[in-house]
């Protein structure tokens, strides 16, 4: 098992400690240092392909939040038919919470800890300069390789812990699961989607993954090009 029964039970009850939301998301110096060392380890190894089995790594928030988001990714993957790694694997869906995401990305760029090979320059620039509470980028199997569907080969998602401090952890986990499991720029989901969470014009955007979102993910992962 990749995750403990206790974490899966937490998902079933939705009992993340919301009263300590800012505290659990913001992190401290030790967590930030942990992110840097984790990125150094990731940079030394080969990133696996999410198409052969999704292998998540979630870091930067409290252990409780990290485990919750990883467990939700597992749950959503199972619901929509996405392949999931059941053995030791190299992380290919990485989610990082940081109170200073711009500094994190800049330092990672300087230290060459993020491998952008095969990613279009405009996508790299969009990722580096994004001011959204959640930013993400998808990699490809090889430089210049273009996929014909919305299943990413790997995903890097960074959550701005300061900007997302007022969003429930369960909502963030659903949002992260959607953008990590499908390249929504290749094929957009339905209008009734949690993807509209940070759209200022959509004040009534869903706060949880909708059935339309799950149907979208099922259609994405049922395709085998």
The answer to whether residue 19 sits within a structural domain is no
The answer to whether residue 40 sits within a structural domain is yes
Residues counted in the chain = 225
- Residue pLDDT, tens place only, 39-78: 555 444 444 555 567 888 898 888 888 988 999 998 999 8
- What local confidence, expressed as pLDDT, does residue 187 receive? 72
The answer to whether residue 185 sits within a structural domain is yes
The answer to whether residue 17 sits within a structural domain is no
- What local confidence, expressed as pLDDT, does residue 118 receive? 75
Give the sheet arrangement for strand 93-98, strand by strand: 56-59, 93-98, 154-160, 134-139
- What local confidence, expressed as pLDDT, does residue 172 receive? 93
The answer to whether residue 10 sits within a structural domain is no
- What local confidence, expressed as pLDDT, does residue 1 receive? 23
- What local confidence, expressed as pLDDT, does residue 181 receive? 92
Please check whether residue 189 is in contact with residue 216, taking contact to mean a CB–CB distance below 8 angstroms: yes
Q: State the total domains in the chain.
A: 1
- What local confidence, expressed as pLDDT, does residue 113 receive? 73
Please check whether residue 82 is in contact with residue 180, taking contact to mean a CB–CB distance below 8 angstroms: no
- What local confidence, expressed as pLDDT, does residue 5 receive? 29
Residues of the domain holding 79: 27-222
Please check whether residue 166 is in contact with residue 185, taking contact to mean a CB–CB distance below 8 angstroms: no
The answer to whether residue 15 sits within a structural domain is no
Please check whether residue 53 is in contact with residue 84, taking contact to mean a CB–CB distance below 8 angstroms: yes
pLDDT beneath 70: ranges in the chain: 1-52, 140-149, 201-202, 223-225
DSSP H helices, the chain, are 5-13, 21-26, 29-44, 63-80, 101-110, 121-129, 169-181, 211-222
The answer to whether residue 21 sits within a structural domain is no
The answer to whether residue 109 sits within a structural domain is yes
């Amino acid at each position: 098992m990749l995750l403990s029964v206790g974490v899966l039970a937490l998902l079933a009850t939705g009992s993340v400690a919301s009263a300590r939301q800012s505290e659990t998301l913001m992190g401290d110096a030790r967590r930030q240092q942990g992110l840097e060392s984790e990125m150094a380890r990731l940079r030394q190894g080969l990133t696996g392909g999410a198409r052969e089995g999704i292998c998540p790594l979630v870091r930067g928030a409290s252990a409780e939040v990290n485990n919750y988001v990883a467990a939700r990714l597992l749950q959503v993957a199972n619901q929509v038919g996405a392949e999931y790694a059941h053995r030791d694997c190299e992380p290919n869906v990485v989610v990082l919470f940081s109170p200073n995401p711009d500094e994190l990305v800049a330092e990672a760029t300087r230290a060459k800890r993020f491998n952008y090979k095969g990613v279009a320059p405009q996508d790299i620039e969009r990722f580096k300069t994004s001011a959204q509470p959640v930013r993400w980028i998808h990699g490809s199997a090889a430089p210049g390789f273009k996929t014909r569907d919305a299943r990413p080969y790997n995903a890097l998602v960074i959550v701005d812990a300061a900007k997302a401090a007022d969003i429930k952890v369960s909502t963030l986990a659903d949002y992260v699961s959607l953008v990590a499991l499908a390249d929504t720029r290749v094929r957009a989901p339905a209008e009734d989607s949690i993807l509209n969470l940070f759209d200022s014009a959509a004040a009534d955007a869903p706060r949880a993954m909708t059935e339309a979102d799950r149907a979208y993910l099922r259609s994405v992962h049922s395709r085998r090009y």
